[in-house]
Structure 1
Amino acid sequence: MTTVLVVEDDPDVALVLSALFRRSGWNTVHADDGRSALRMLHETKPDVMVLDVGLPGLNGWQVLERVRDMSDLPVLMLTAHGHESERVRGLRAGADDYLTKPFSNPELVARIEALLRRVPAHAAAPRTYDDGVLTLDAVTRQARWRERPLELSDLQFRLLHVLVQHKSTVVTPEQLLARVWDDTSGGSGDRVKFAVLRLRRAIQELDPDADPIESVRGVGYRYRTH
C-alpha cells in the first residue's frame, strides 16, 4: 500500500490530510516537526512526502535539504505563500511539486497521484556511508573517523556527505554551493575553499596524516576512498 508522510504542525490540517489520503486508499503517517519527519522517513520508508514550509525547529526548506541529502523521495511542498519566487525556490531546492494554501482536496490528491506515477518505485539512498575509515549517518547527522567521533558543524557534515555521495568524482565549487549552501547563483568559490579547509582540519585533529579530500586544480574537489 502507498504510504504518505504528512509533515504538518497544524493538527487540524494534519487530521484533514490524513483522512483525505485514507479515503484515497493510502496509508498515512504524520510528523509535526522537521526532526520527527527525518526520523520517520527512515522508519516508515514512505512513497511520497507532503511537506509544510512553516514548521517549528527545522523549517520545510531545511527538511527538504536533508531529505535530498539521503533520498530521492517525491516531495510536494505546501505553503501559505503563493509568490512566484517561493515556488521557484521550492522547485530549485529539489521539491517535485508545490501547492499553495488554501487548495482543493481533489487537486492535492491528483498531484500526489501524478508524483506516484512519475516515480512508481521510489528507492531511498542508503542512510549510512561506511568505507572502513569514515562512517556517516545521514539521519542522526553523526560521523566517525577510524571509529572515533568526528566533531563537525552542520555545514561541514553536509559538505562531507555530498563529497562522499560522489566519491572518486570531482565535484565543482558551483555544485557544492548548490547542494551544501542552497546557492544556485554560482557565487564565489572562496566560500567552498575555506569550508573544505576547515573540514580537512577537523579530520586531521583526529588523524594528522589523513588527507581524504583532494583539490583538483581548476576543477573542484574529490573525496578519495582508502
Structure 2
Amino acid sequence: MNKANPLILIIEDDPQTRRFLKTTLCNRGWRIIEAENGKTGLSMIKSDSPDLVILDLGLPDIDGISVTQRLRQLSDLPVLILSARSQEQNKIMALDAGADDYMTKPFGSGELHARLQALLRRVTRSISSSETFETGQLKVDLVRRKVFNAGNEVHITPIEYRLLSILIRHAGLVVTQRQLLKEVWGVEHIHDQHYLRIYMGQLRHKLEVNPARPRYLLTEVGVGYRLVDDVS
C-alpha cells in the first residue's frame, strides 16, 4: 500500500458520479482508477492492485452484491458500497456479502473521506497487529484482555469483551447484527437481536459517560453497530 497516496478503484456506471468522485478524492490526495461495470472492475482488482474499492450496487452487467461476493474470493480488499439503494435490507445484504461499509447517495464529501480513512486504518491495524486500541479515553489492552476508561480499569464480562473485540477489529465501520450474533453466539442465534440490545446496553453503561448519547458505541438503525475510532 502506498500510504501517502492510496489507490482507489471506483466501480460505478454513472459518468457524472465517477467524475465527481474523482475530482473530490484527487483533491484530497487519493489516486483514482475507474471501471464502468462489474466485470471490468474485477479484472482491474487483479491487474492494478488497488488499496480500496468504492462500489455501486446498480451496475449494468453484474449486481454489486455479486461483485462483492466474487471480490471476496480474490481479496480481503476494503470495500465501501456507495449506492442510491437506501433500504436497510440492501445494506445488510451488501455487508453480509463482504462489504466493509455502506453509504447512500446523495453523500457528503467530508463523510466519504472519513469513511475511507476508517477503512485504511482497519487495514493498517490488521497489518501491524497492534497490542492496544485507543479512542478518546477508552483503551483496550488486546493482549491482557483488559479495558480502561479514563485510566480506570472497567470490569466487563467475557461476552461483552468478545463483542467489543469484534467492533475493535472493524473500528470505524458498521458491523451487522447478524455478523455479531454469529461470531459471539453462533449461527443458530443470528435472529436473536435482543441478545445484542441487552449486551450493548450493558457495554454502554460501563464505557459511556452518557449511555443515552454514546460517543463510542453507535447504533446503525436496523443494520448493526459502529465503534467510533477517532474520538478526540
Given the two structures, how large is their TM-score scaled by the length of structure 2? 0.52
Query: Does structure 2 retain, via aligned residues, the 8 Å contact 1:73–1:122?
Result: no
How many Å separate the matches in 1 of 2:103 and 2:40? Answer: 22
Aligned 8 A contact 1:47 1:122 in 2: no
Alignment of 1:38-187 (within 5 A): 38-120=42-124
In 2, Cα distance between equivalents of 1:24 and 1:13: 17
Q: How far apart are residue 54 of structure 1 and its match? A: 0.4
| CA distance in 1 between partners of 2:94 and 2:69 (Å) | 10
Tell me the C-alpha RMSD between the 2 structures.
Answer: 2.0
Instruction: State the secondary structure of the residue aligned to 1:76.
Output: strand
* C-alpha contact (below 8 Å) 2:7/2:31 kept by paired residues: yes
Equivalenced residues, count:
126
Counterpart position of 2:6: 2
Once the two structures are TM-superposed, the CA of residue 62 in structure 1 deviates from its matched residue by 1.2
The answer to whether 1:26 aligns with 2:3 is no
Displacement of 1:121 after TM fit? 8.1
On the 8 A contact 1:33/1:56 being kept in 2, the answer is yes
Q: 2: CA distance between counterparts of 1:99 and 1:119? A: 19
The runs of at least 4 consecutive aligned structure 1 residues that moved more than 3 Å come to none
Structure 1: gaps spanning 5 or more residues = 124-183, 186-226
Q: Could you tell me the percent identity over the aligned residues?
A: 42
Residues 49-93 of structure 1: per-residue CA shift (max 9 Å, x gap): 000000011121111111001100000001112111111111111
**Structure 2: unaligned runs, 5 residues or longer:** 128-186, 189-232
Paired amino acid for 1:52 = D
Find the residue that maps to 2:61 and give its secondary structure.
coil
Look up the equivalent residue of 1:100 and give its one-letter code: T
2:65 and 2:93 in contact (8 A); partners too = no
Q: What's 1:222 paired with?
A: none
2:88 aligned partner, one-letter code: E
CA distance in 1, matches of 2:125, 2:13: 28
What is the CA deviation profile of residues 112-159 of structure 1, one whole-angstrom value per residue up to 9, with x for unaligned ones?
010001113899xxxxxxxxxxxxxxxxxxxxxxxxxxxxxxxxxxxx
* Maintained 8 Å contact 1:49/1:75: yes
Distance, in Å, in 2 between the alignment partners of 1:121 and 1:112 is 14
Amino acid at match of 2:87: H
Asked if structure 1 preserves the Cα contact closer than 8 Å seen for 2:54 and 2:81, the reply is yes
